[in-house]
Amino acid sequence: MDHPASLLVAWRERAAYLEQFGDPTSARLWKLAALELDTTLKALGDESLTLVEAAALSGYSADHLGHLVRHRKLRNVGRKNAPRIRRADLPIKSPTRPGRPTRPLQHRQEDGGRVTNISKLTRRKR
């Protein structure tokens, strides 16, 4: 099962099968369970998340999600300077599609505050 919503289909099919070929009492229980799950999923989808919370769930950075809100690709359900995103509207980054390559770690040197690639700092001198 990829998503809890797929349980809705399975439970409703099970209820229909039991209603037709089995025990009507069990069928009613499966229908009730599907209704409760459906209600819970709708309430969960309506939950609003901060950009940081949304980033942790989506795989996208908070900055990127903020960019999408500012450019109205995602609806802001919060205030102007405190954006929030509905969980149901949240884009989910595909774990199989490659994203931007990771950048090497950087270290800020004390002399003048320049940013130096960490691989330069860890190389052995010959």
Express each pLDDT in 72-90 by its tens digit: 999 999 998 899 999 989 9
Residue 31 lies in a domain: yes
**Residue 19 predicted with pLDDT over 70:** yes
- Let me know whether 9 and 39 are in one domain: yes
* 53 shares its domain with 85: yes
Q: At what angle do helices 62-70 and 51-58 cross, to 10 degrees?
A: 110
Q: What's the mean pLDDT in 82-104?
A: 78
Q: Is residue 120 part of a domain?
A: no
Residue 70: inside a domain: yes
Residue 27 covered by a domain: yes
Number of domains in the chain: 2
Question: Which residue did the predictor score with more confidence, 61 or 97?
Answer: 61
Whether residues 25 and 38 share a domain: the answer is yes
Asked if residue 65 belongs to a domain, the reply is: yes
User: How deeply is 8 buried, as exposed, middle or buried, from its count of CB atoms within 10 A (0-12, 13-18, 19+)?
Assistant: middle
Give me the domain span that covers residue 26: 5-46
What is the rounded distance in angstroms from the CA atom of residue 126 to the CA atom of residue 124? 6
Short-list 6, 54, 58, 62, CA closest to 34: 6
